Each structure stands twice: as C-alpha cells, then as structure tokens.
Amino acid sequence: MAMDSENIRMNKYRNEGSRIYSGRPLGESVRAELGLNEKDRDSAIYTFYFPEDTMSINSSYFGGLFEESVICLGREGFEGKYKFLFEDGKELSDILKFNIEEGIGDALREY
C-alpha cells in the first residue's frame, strides 16, 4: 500500500512582498494552521513547495515551524516525512538546503 502524501504550498506563509521566511512567531502560527502536531504522528509524507524567488528560510522561522517535529521525529524521521522543493518541483538552492540543515541542527542542539 502506498503511503499518503500531501503537498503544502508555502507561498502564502511569508510576509507579503518578502522573499525571506523569518520570525519564530510567524513560523509557530503556520505550524498551528497546518496542524503539524497531528501530521508528525500520521503516516503521510508531506512536501513543502517554496516559491522560486525564496532567498532564505531563517532559523527562527524554521524553528517555529519545525523544531517540535525535529525533536519528535529525530533527524531521520523528519527528513523521511517532510520534503522541501521549489514550486516548479526542482531541488531547493544550496542556500535554502543549508538553511534547513541549520534549522534541523539547531532544533537537535536545543533539545
């Protein structure tokens, strides 16, 4: 049986006109809106699609959005459950991959 999967479009979860995702409070509100506490516990895989013009995902935003998920699932579990791509399906830029890796590391260090 194939696992369920869901796509999450991130274009509406950043400050209007911004090409940067920043701020822990915004990350936390997006986490609540997306119901990630429940998603962390289900068997689905989630792909987050970011606009191609995204320049940065600050660690504060990432932490607000995903810190609890990283702590709950561990690195391998998190990386297996949550995927990150540009809206056109292409791989994220190296800087965005680095932002995500840094966010995972920060969450694990905090824990």
Q: Report pLDDT digits (tens) over 28-68.
A: 999 999 999 999 999 999 999 999 999 999 999 999 999 99
Q: Is the pLDDT of residue 1 over 60?
A: no
**In 82-110, which ranges are continuous DSSP H helix?**
94-110
Please give the pLDDT value at position 24: 97
Q: pLDDT > 90: what percent of the chain? A: 91
Q: Is the pLDDT of residue 2 over 60?
A: no
In which band, very low, low, confident or very high, does the pLDDT at 111 lie, cut at 50, 70 and 90? confident
Instruction: Please compute, for residue 68, the number of CA atoms within 13 A of its CA located in the half-sphere on the CB side.
Output: 15
Helix 59-81 to helix 24-34 angle, to the nearest 10 degrees?
A: 40
1-27 b/e (C-beta count within 10 Å ≥ 16 → b): eeeeeeebebeebbeeeeeebbebebb
Please give the pLDDT value at position 16: 85
